[in-house]
Structure 1
Amino acid sequence: MLEPFAQSEPLTFGVELELQLVSLSDFDLNASSPDLLHLLARKPFPGNVTPEITESMIEINSSVHSRYGPLREELLDIRDTLVAAADQLNIGLAGGGTHPFQHWPERRIYPGQRFQELSSLYGYLAKQFTVFGQHVHIGCSSGDDAMFLLHSLNRYIPHFIALSASSPFVQGHDSLFDSARLNSVFAFPMSGRAPFTLSWDEFANVYFAKMEATGIIKSMKDFYWDVRPKPEYGTIELRVCDTPLTVERAAALAGYLQALCRHLLERREPAPAEDDYLVYNFNRFQACRFGLDGAITHPKTYETMSLREDILTTLRRMEPHGEALGSMDALRHLAQVVQEGGDATYLRREFEEQGSAEGMVDAAIRRFRGSN
């Protein structure tokens, strides 16, 4: 049985980031999360840090915030604390949705019960899931508002994929995708998008109850949807973003989502409908494959639009909300990304300039710590 939807302060938000742990000798992934977590446990940590499915990654969680500025500052504090600890262990920390040349058979599953169960269930997919994403939670006053926001965001999912895309390289090769990470997520049977309903009661007591009765699903954690409700927190969770190369960009993406949700809750746009999803997978692919250069189809009008121009237009429309929420700097940051190119472009450029994938990883490590 699904727990009741907890009431939370509307539009409060928090961020989760999955980070790469990298050897500074060969710049491959390093199975050092047990040592790093042990070291971090010795003193207070701003936010929270937890293991992830393999020992070459960790997850950090911010506190709950209502304003972009304090979230950004906390993420910077978390980063600095992590970097200081990693320096003691002589390991590097990096963002990016994929490590460019790691080989999944070399990964070690973290020794936690849930991780071991996932490894047993999914086989090689569990190790192949050494990919790195950003999740953003948005507080909702009710389950019905959560379902409304979840489905209203379908139109804007390509924005967040393209703006965060930082996984162009896989297994030592340029994938030609700006965000190859999401291809790994799609391999899981309960990935994709949530079933369409705008009623929390229908979702919880009909859909979830049926899925639970099948024995396939035990909790919301078993769904790997692009956006999913989290009733225990009273939030929806956006899960499509690659982990950016900097925490500043991670904060900006969260600020954009907060402004967008404020706009959507005014209910001035046409209501979401099941037919919106006719173009969903195509638009998602365009954003993953081509990033900001993608072309998407509007779910209501079927108009073909430049993703780059659609993002810029939407950022301008969000300015009144940015003013009200104190997140104008976040919107300006993302407008600059659209105009100058994102993390996937940066990584490809570094690969060319450094002449090797190792040099590219080194550049990503320095970028995460604020050195370039």
Structure 2
Amino acid sequence: MSLEAFHDSEALTLGVELELQLVNTHDYDLAPYAEDMLRLMKKTPLPGSVVPEMTSGMIEVSTDICRSSSEVLSQLTPIRDALVRSADKLNIAVLGGGTHPFQQWHERRIYDKPRFHELSQLYGYLSKQFTIFGQHVHVGCPDADAALLMLHRLSRYIPHFIALSASSPYVQAHDTQFDSARLNSVFAFPLSGRAPCVLTWAEFEQYFDKMTGTGVVKSMKDFYWDIRPKPGFGTVEIRVFDTPLTIERAAALAGYVQSLAAWFLAEQPFTPQEDDYLVYTYNRFQACRFGLEGEYVDPVSGEHLPLREHILRTMDRIAPFGEAHGATSALQLLRAETLDGQNDARWLRELMGREQLLAEVTRRAALRFRG
């Protein structure tokens, strides 16, 4: 199978996908209500789409094409409200967060869809362990070569995306000591990690042909990379975000991505190279483990500095581009919480410290999602 052509896309447009948790309102464990939610959600005209995910206690929503983070929020708001109304009818709740704090993976049911059953046969128990919840952000690129440059430039900022969105400190009722434990489940898949450092679409097509020639992959869907090109949409797709606890933070993260991408397109600030990836895995681990308190190693200078400082420096650099694209309020929200060392993982831990009951933490997270 050959790689599909890279479709035309308006540069710097945005699309956001959110994987969300469905929980009962008895003990706040995951509940297998995806099919019922899909049936109810069909009754309300909404932007984007609502689709099932790997297991039946999950659902994924997405926006249409947006041109600003405020438009992302304006689309997510009615989607969120419809989700809440539908959940109320079923006596369940919807929430964000990268992992459910205490669900047991072996109790999950694979959603009845051919691709999910195929993945379950291939990956075994990893399929049920993939009951994790992420935000994906698509950013439009003017052409295929620009998309690859965008992908590799964005890769330097993967630790930013992880630390700012981290919301998965708890797994199976244990504090993992990670801010984003969700990504440990993603890394277990054989085609996860980083894309190959090729900078032209012709080279990428050659790589894709080699991979399909091995029989290991059939389409771009088979790559679980942190960032991957999405030729059918004319975008690159960032996949490392945990699902935030609020749609406001989800929209702000999209604004951050758009502001970075606008800087890249306007100034071409650096040429990606293979050596950018010398410290990639280390930086990614630091962000997953310690969140905003992690360490960042500059891949060019070798400078070590606090990740929070690197994020704040970057926010200063891209502020004019954020302003030009209506993302100033998004950047201000993220900047204020970065200065305070606050992300969703910290909010969850602080709440657990007070309540000492993960079911109550989950209930409160569901209330927070309602707005």
Normalised TM-score (structure 1): 0.98
Deviation at 1:141, TM superposition (A): 1.1
Answer yes or no: is the 8 Å Cα contact 2:151–2:229 preserved in 1.
Answer: yes
1:55 corresponds to: 56
Equivalent residues in 2 for 1:200-219, closer than 5 Å: 200-204=201-205, 206-219=206-219
* SS in structure 2 at match of 1:69: helix
How far, CA to CA, are the matches of 1:143 and 1:305 in structure 2? 34
How far, CA to CA, are the matches of 1:324 and 1:119 in structure 2? 45
- 1:5 equivalenced with 2:18 (yes/no): no
Normalised TM-score (structure 2): 0.98
Q: Deviations over 1:4-32 (max 9, x none)?
A: 11010000011000000011101100011
How far, CA to CA, are the matches of 1:147 and 1:322 in structure 2? 22
Percent identity over the alignment is 57
Distance 1:267 1:335, change over 3 A: same
1:358 corresponds to: 359
Deviation at 1:147, TM superposition (A): 0.3
* SS in structure 2 at match of 1:18: strand
List, as ranges, runs of 4+ consecutive aligned residues in structure 1 with deviation greater than 6 Å: none
1:145 corresponds to: 146
Q: Deviations over 1:154-178 (max 9, x none)?
A: 2111000000000000110000000
Q: Deviations over 1:255-291 (max 9, x none)?
A: 0000101101234422110011000000000000000
1:239 corresponds to: 239
* SS in structure 1 at match of 2:199: coil
Answer yes or no: is the 8 Å Cα contact 2:68–2:326 preserved in 1.
Answer: yes
Q: How many residues of Structure 1 are paired with residues of Structure 2 in the alignment?
A: 369
How far, CA to CA, are the matches of 1:167 and 1:26 in structure 2? 19
**77-86 or 285-294, larger mean C-alpha shift:** 77-86
How far, CA to CA, are the matches of 1:83 and 1:360 in structure 2? 18
1:77 corresponds to: 78
* SS in structure 2 at match of 1:318: helix
Question: Pairwise CA RMSD of aligned residues?
Answer: 0.8
Equivalent residues in 2 for 1:1-372, closer than 5 Å: 1-204=2-205, 206-340=206-340, 341-370=342-371
Unmatched segments (≥5 aa) in structure 2: none
Answer yes or no: is the 8 Å Cα contact 2:159–2:283 preserved in 1.
Answer: yes
AA partner of residue 3 (structure 1)? E
AA partner of residue 334 (structure 2)? L
Deviation at 1:135, TM superposition (A): 0.2
* SS in structure 2 at match of 1:255: helix
* SS in structure 1 at match of 2:17: strand
Answer yes or no: is the 8 Å Cα contact 2:44–2:82 preserved in 1.
Answer: no
Unmatched segments (≥5 aa) in structure 1: none
